[in-house]
Structure 1
C-alpha cells in the first residue's frame, strides 16, 4: 500500500524517522519499507534524497520532473524561481539527458567514442561532437551539457520577410510573376553573389506565405503560388488515402498458408508485359507449384475490362481443382477483380506496393518472355497462335527447381492423378 504524505517526520511522513533508523542499522530497503508501511519506490526516493511536491519529483541536483507532462526542468538556486527546461518530448535525433549521463559514465571508465556510440546506437561522430562542444576544461558534466543545449536550442527569430526591404521586395516581385520559392532562392545567389543579406531559403518563403503568425507575405501574395493555395495541404496518412479500387482489395497477408509453401497446386501469379507506348500488352499467368505458363492476347489495350475479359476464359479453361487463387500487383488493370472472382470463383490477392518478390515466379517468367517479346516493341503484332507457341516452348523447358522436370510434365501428372 502506498503511504500518504502527512505532517511529521523529516520528509513529512510519520514513518520517515523510523525508516531512516532502520536503514542506518543495516535493514534492507524492502524490509524497512514494509515495516514502515510505504511503497518500495517511495523508499528508493527517500534513499536518493528525492522529494515530492505539487505533482512533481525534485532531485538533489535540482532536476524537477513533472508527472503529467514528463518534462524535466532544472531549478537554479541562484536565480530562483527561474527554471531551465532540460528535457521534453523531442525528436529522436537529439541526445537525451539519460544518454548524456551514459556518455559521462562510460567516458569516466575510459570507453572509446565508438564503444559509447555502439551502446547508445549513435554514430561515434555524434559522441565526439557532444564531448568537444559541451565539455568545460576537458571535463564533461551531463547536467551542465543538457542545460547548455536547452539554452542554445531556444532561438526566437523573426522571419526575414516580416519587415520591408530589398529582400522582401525581390521575393514579392518574383512571386508576382509566378516564380516558385525554390527558383527565387537560387536566383538570389546568382544576382547577389556577394551580399549575404540577400539570402532566403525556399522554406522561409513558404512559411511567410502559409504561417500567419510569422507572416509578411500572406496578404500580398495570396494567389502568388502556382497552386493558388494560402495554406499547406497536409499529406494523408496511408490509412486515409483514397482506395485504388472501388471494390476493396484482399491483401497477400490474408492468403492461405498452403498457397505460400506451394504444396497445393492451382494457385496462380499474374501480371502484364506491356508493349511500346503502353498500347498493347500480354497477360502472363504462372502456376506456383508447376511453373506452368499461360498467356493472354491484348492487342488493343489493357483496361480493367479488357484484362478481365481475357482472364476469365483463361482461368475457365482449367479444371476446378486447378482454380485456387490468383495473386496480382496493385496495377489499375485489375480494377475489375471482383467481377473476375464472381465469374470464375477464384479469389484475387494483391501484393504490397513495390514488392515484386511477392510474385517471384511471375517476375522470373516475364524475364524469360522478354527473349521472345523484347521491351519497346509492338506486342499487337503477335497473334494468339504466336502466344500459344511461346507458352508451349516455356512449358517444355526442364527446370532446376522442378528437379529437371518440365512444367508440362508436372501439370500432366496433376491432371492424370485426378
Structure 2
C-alpha cells in the first residue's frame, strides 16, 4: 500500500497528526497513503519527531547512497602487506581484481597505512623484465586450472611467489602464499631463490596448512623448477601462470 518513503509535504502533515496526539499508526498511514511500517520507521528514527530534521536525514542518506567503499579492514591488511613486500599498486590490482586508481586514491586519502613516497618506482612487469633468475617452460598451464578456482568458491587454492628486497643487498627472499578465496597471506623467509630453498620452505608451509592445500599456482622462475617433487610429495597440482603475470 502506498509508498515506502515520505515527501517533505507528507512529513509536515505527519508532524501535525502526531501533535494531535490521538491517531494510531494505521490512522496516520491511511491519511498519508503509505504503509504502516513507513510511519513506524519514520517516527522511530527521529525522536521527538521533527519534520525538518527527518527531511535533512533523508536527503543525507540519499546523497550517500552508492558511495560505500569496498575497502574493508581485511582488504586494507591484504593491500598493505603486499605493498610492504614491494608489490606495486598495478600488480596488486591485477592479482586481486581491484582498480589501480582506487588503490592510489586510498593511499592519497590516507586510508592505507603506507606512505605513497615509499612505493616501488616500477611496476611488476618492469621488475620482472630485468630479473636474471632464469626460467623454464615445462609444467601445467593455468589455462588447465579448473574454472571453479577462478570463481573463488572453495578454500585451499594458493598462489605462490617470491619477493626480493627492493634494495638488492641480500639473496634472501620472502616466499608468499596467497589463498584465493579469503586472500589470506602467509609469508616465509627463505635464504635464497633456489629450487631446494623453495621446496624446504614449501615443506614448512605444508606443515601448517597440510590438507587445506588443494592446488598452487606459480610462475616459471627457476625456483619452481622442481615442482614435480611438490606434486609427488604432497599429491597436489601445480599450475603455471602466463609470463609476467603477478
Higher helix share: 2
Same fold? TM cut 0.5: no
TM-score normalised by length of structure 1: 0.25
TM-score normalised by length of structure 2: 0.42
Which structure is larger by alpha-carbon Rg, 1 or 2? Answer: 1
